[in-house]
Structure 1
Amino acid sequence: MELREVVRRRRMVRRFDPGRPVPESVVRDLVALAVRAPSAGFSQGWDFVALLAPEDRERFWGAAAGSGPPDAWLRGVSAAPALLVCLSNPGAYLDRYAEPDKGWSDRSLEHWPVPYWDTDTAMAAMLVLLGAQDAGLGALFFGVPAGRHGAVLEALRVPDDRHVVGVVALGHEAERVVGSAATRPRRTVEDVLHLGRFGVS
């Protein structure tokens, strides 16, 4: 599929068919795309935890969703046969930019008004979403609730120096759900492109 067509067709899927697994080889191919994402200083401060076995996904959902009856969103997304937890590693950037060719002699967070470790990991996740579309899969990028990050890191035995940026659910769509894209108009190029200064299109 041509890149422009992949981009135009890509959308978030919220209902998955649990009976159609995603092979590990496909997940590996998608992560191979992810590591082609740009990263500041070529720091590559990302990791991906693939949850393909039912017990691994159950452990994730137990930590991410907590107790209580699942709502419609959770019922649909938790049926996804593959989850890819996208993690950022701030230390990789702090170390890289303290090297002689970068000019900073310390690892201060004050040098980073934008946390590029999270930005770069999100760009890697976008490549996974595009790759999933190209592979004929449905995908959804979603966040872990603020109060559940620690529980997810512990459940997956992730080192505490990593951050959860988000999770990509992968699988085959079970049914189409009307989401925000169907009820809110997409902003046009004229709405978002400002030439020379803000407010000029």
Structure 2
Amino acid sequence: MEFADVVRRRRMIRNYDQRPVDPAAVDRILTAALHAPSAGFSQGWAFLRLDTADDVDRFWSAATPPGQGDDEWSRGLRRAPVVIVPLSSKQAYLDRYAEPDKGWTDRDESRWPAPYWDIDTGMASLLMLLTVVDEALGACFFGIPPERVAAFREAFGVPGDYSPIGAITVGHPATDRRSPSLRRGRRSMDDVVHRGRWSA
């Protein structure tokens, strides 16, 4: 598939059928993530691959607030046979930039204009989302509720220096309803691109 087609076809899929996903395709999706840029080549990311029914069920049990998860949107997501959780490590970046070629030995977080550990892991996640399209599969990126992160960590033994930035379901798309948010329409180039200076 041409890259432009991959970009145009990328969208969040919220409903999956029951077909399994080829493990080799999951390997390719994760391999693509390793090509994301990272500040100082810190590569302060990790990816929890959940591709057995037991692991996927354990994820939903850990990540779902009590009394939730039985709506149409949740039921469609839960049919995905694969969940990938991208995690970022701030410590990996602070350690990398304390090395002699960077010299930020004080590890002062105020030196960072933005949390690049999360940004870089987000870029790795986007590469996975694009690779999913190239594999003729579907994916949805969504957040783990903050009050469920501790339960998620405990369920999967995630160390304290790694934080989930979200989760990605992967599977074969089933008939899906369009998100109501899409009624807002895509913003135009003129709305978002400011040439030379900010303009209204």
Is the partner of 2:197 in helix, strand or coil?
coil
One-letter identity of the residue aligned with 1:139: A
CA RMSD after TM alignment: 1.2
2:48 counterpart residue number: 49
Aligned identity (percent) is 50
d(CA) in 2 for partners of 1:195, 1:182: 27
Structure 2 segments unaligned to the other structure (5+ residues) = none
In the TM superposition, what are the counterparts of 1:55-94 in structure 2 within 5 Å? 55-68=54-67, 70-94=70-94
Report the CA distance shift for 1:100/1:172 in structure 2 as closer, same or farther (over 3 A).
Answer: same
The residue identity in structure 2 corresponding to 1:83 is V
Provide the rounded CA distance (Å) in 2 between the counterparts of 1:38 and 1:189. Answer: 25
Q: Provide the rounded CA distance (Å) in 1 between the counterparts of 2:73 and 2:159.
A: 29
- Residues in 2 aligned to 1:103 and 1:67: alpha-carbon distance in whole angstroms: 46
Distance in structure 2 (CA, Å) of the matches to 1:172 and 1:152: 25
Tell me, yes or no, if structure 1 residue 36 matches structure 2 residue 35: yes
**One-letter amino acid of the structure 1 residue matched with residue 189 of structure 2:** V
Letter in 2 for 1:126: L
Partner-residue secondary structure (3-state), 1:50: strand
TM-score computed with the length of structure 1 as normaliser? 0.95
Q: What are the superposed Cα offsets for residues 37-59 of structure 1, whole Å, 9 maximum, x if unpaired? A: 00000000110011111110111
Aligned counterparts of 1:180 and 1:13: Cα–Cα separation in 2: 13
Alpha-carbon distance in 2 for matches of 1:11, 1:159: 31
Partner of 1:176: 176
Matches within 5 A, 1:4-15: 4-15=4-15
Residues in 2 aligned to 1:135 and 1:14: alpha-carbon distance in whole angstroms: 17
CA–CA distance in 2 between the matches of 1:97 and 1:54? Answer: 40
2: CA distance, partners of 1:86 / 1:180: 26
**In structure 2, distance between residues paired with 1:23 and 1:157:** 26
The offset of 1:108, in angstroms, is 2.1
Matches of 1:39 and 1:180 in 2, distance apart?
34
Shift of 1:23: 2.2
Distance 1:92 1:58 in 2: 30
Amino acid at match of 1:41: G
| CA deviations over 1:134-166 (Å, ceiling 9, x no partner) | 110011011101111111111111101111001
C-alpha distance in 2 between matches for 1:180 and 1:129 = 21
Deviation string for 1:51-109 (max 9, x for gaps)?
11111011111110033251111111011000000000111100010111113122222
Question: Which amino acid counterpart does residue 183 of structure 1 have in structure 2?
Answer: R
Offset from partner CA, 1:11-50 (integer Å, 9 cap, x none): 1100011x21112221111111000000000000110011
Per the TM alignment, residue 181 of structure 1 is displaced from its structure 2 partner at its CA by 5.3
Question: 1:98-123 CA distances to partner (integer Å, 9 max, x unpaired)?
Answer: 11111312222222231100000000
